């Protein structure tokens, strides 16, 4: 029996993993796969990979690169999605902040330092030519933490994936004042160094199955209903999300796909100037590559 410990955020992006686990295909193939939810996001998963608590995890691309550049004991082995993440820019529903221009100088709620919700604040501020050295943050760990921080007025702005936060917006807790598309694909698959040493072929084979399930989900006529029912979302919102989301259909990633990520993080002094994007990658065995 082979074992694989997997981590990811409890969000709709990762439904293909859950469908594969629930199908029993891995168990029948002699693979004992365990899933662990990380509501705290990419920073928490990077720490879990570094501490050998999980073998593979789906991290936001910018969070994965930043963590590796800062000495994280893991590598990127594949793209997970090819489409960018669409971040919602949220304020409390009763906030006096009415536009994106108004959030300059406000305190940002972030899941944790080094997370995607942290790094994207820098990217967004730089895009708007705001001084990034003035940004102020409070770590709140999760979406619920941001709700609590807004209620306590310890934070006034929160960047989080648009569709997962829409129920909170619809409930009148958050108000979305803008959107921001990350300038690179959203998620990558990362593996710990120890898992790469012992389980590279296993990881590659499982990733091929995940990609196959994702392709079936995207093409299915009831995909939007299945996702909506599972994650408490509106069917029409999920249908819109599915229309702009593309899961990867190949195992692997080209270092050139990370160039803009590294360039941006270096400009923000979040990654050492000498860091080479190729150092973030650890290709799996070549026979595992290619289209499904």
Per-domain residue ranges for the chain?
2-83+186-291, 84-184
| Residue 253: band (very low, low, confident or very high) from pLDDT cuts 50, 70, 90 | confident
Share the mean pLDDT of the chain. 92
Percent of the chain with pLDDT strictly greater than 90: 80
pLDDT per position as a tens digit, 184-228:
999 999 999 999 999 999 999 999 999 999 999 999 999 999 999
Looking at 3.40.190.10, 3.30.750.24, 3.30.70.330, 3.30.565.10, the CATH number of the domain 2-83+186-291 comes to 3.40.190.10
Alpha-carbon gap, residue 140 to 195, rounded angstroms: 30
Please tell me the predicted confidence (pLDDT) of residue 291.
Answer: 40
Min mean pLDDT across 33-37, 137-141, 260-264 is at 260-264
- Number of C-beta neighbours around residue 231 at 10 A: 15
Are 6 and 57 in contact by the 8 Å Cβ rule? The answer is: yes
Amino acid 292: pLDDT: 35
Q: Provide the H-helix boundaries in the chain.
A: 15-23, 25-28, 42-50, 61-69, 116-127, 143-152, 162-170, 193-219, 223-231, 235-244, 259-267
**Looking at residue 286, what is its pLDDT?**
44
Distance set, CA 196 to CA 29, 52, 73, 206, 230 (Å): 20, 11, 11, 13, 32
CA dist 216 and 11 (Å) reads 18
Q: How far is CA 113 from the centre of its chain?
A: 14
115 versus 240: the higher-pLDDT residue is 240
pLDDT, tens digit, 9 for 90 and up, residues 81-136: 999 999 999 999 999 999 999 999 999 999 988 788 998 999 999 999 999 999 99
What local confidence, expressed as pLDDT, does residue 290 receive?
A: 42
Angle subtended by helix axes 162-170 and 143-152, to nearest 10? 40
Q: Output the pLDDT for position 115.
A: 82
Contact 189, 80 (CB under 8 A): yes
Q: Which residues contact 222 (CB under 8 A, 6 or more apart)?
A: none
Arithmetic mean of pLDDT, 236-252: 92
Question: Which pLDDT score is estimated for 268?
Answer: 82
More confident residue, 233 or 256: 233
Written as six digits, the tokens of 170 are 């619809």
Cβ(192)–Cβ(7) below 8 Å: no
Domains 2-83+186-291 and 84-184 share a fold: yes
Architecture of the domain whose range is 84-184: 3-Layer(aba) Sandwich (3.40)
Q: Give the DSSP letter of residue 106.
A: P
> How many Cβ atoms from other residues are within 10 Å of residue 230's Cβ?
13
Q: Residue 291 region, left (φ>0) first, then alpha (ψ -120 to 50), else beta?
A: beta
More confident residue, 231 or 290: 231
Residue 287 reports pLDDT greater than 80: no
Query: Confidence class of residue 285 from pLDDT cuts 50, 70 and 90?
Result: low
**Scanning the structure block, which residue is given the tokens 């199908």?**
23
Q: Would you state the structure tokens that stand for residue 172, as one six-digit string? A: 């009148």
Interatomic CA distance for residues 25 and 13, integer angstroms? 20
Residue 15 phi/psi, 5-degree rounding, is -60, -40
Tokens linked to 291 = 């289209």
CA–CA distance from 119 to each of 182, 271, 285 (Å)? Answer: 10, 11, 31
- CA-to-CA distance for 161 and 225, rounded, in angstroms? 19
Q: How many CA atoms lie within 13 A of 13 on its CB side?
A: 33
269: pLDDT confidence band, cut at 50, 70 and 90?
A: confident
């Amino acid at each position: 029996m082979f074992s694989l410990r997997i981590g990811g955020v409890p969000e709709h992006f990762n439904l293909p993993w859950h469908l594969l686990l629930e199908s029993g295909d891995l168990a029948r193939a002699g693979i004992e796969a365990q899933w662990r939810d990380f509501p705290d996001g990419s920073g928490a998963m990077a720490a879990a990979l570094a501490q050998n608590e999980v073998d593979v995890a789906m991290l936001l691309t910018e969070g994965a690169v930043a963590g590796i550049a800062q000495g994280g004991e893991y590598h990127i082995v594949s793209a997970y999605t090819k489409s960018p993440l669409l971040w919602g820019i949220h304020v409390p529903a009763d906030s006096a902040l009415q536009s994106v221009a108004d959030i300059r100088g406000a305190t940002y709620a972030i899941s944790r330092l080094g997370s995607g919700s942290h790094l994207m604040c820098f990217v967004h501020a730089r895009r708007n030519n705001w001084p990034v050295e003035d940004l102020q943050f409070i770590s709140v760990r999760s979406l619920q933490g941001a709700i609590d921080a807004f209620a306590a007025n310890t934070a006034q702005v929160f960047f989080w994936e648009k569709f997962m936060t829409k129920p909170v917006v619809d409930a009148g807790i958050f108000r979305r004042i803008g959107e921001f598309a990350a300038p690179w694909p959203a998620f990558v698959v990362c593996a710990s160094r120890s898992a790469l040493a012992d389980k590279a072929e296993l990881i590659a084979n499982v990733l091929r199955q995940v990609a196959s399930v994702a392709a079936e989900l995207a093409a299915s006529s009831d995909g939007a209903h299945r996702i909506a029912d599972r994650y408490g979302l509106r069917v029409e919102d999920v249908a819109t999300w599915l229309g702009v989301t593309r899961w990867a259909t190949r195992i692997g990633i080209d270092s050139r796909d990370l160039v803009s990520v590294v360039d941006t993080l270096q400009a923000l002094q979040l990654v050492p100037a000498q860091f080479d994007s190729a150092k973030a990658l650890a290709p799996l065995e070549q026979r595992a590559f290619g289209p499904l």
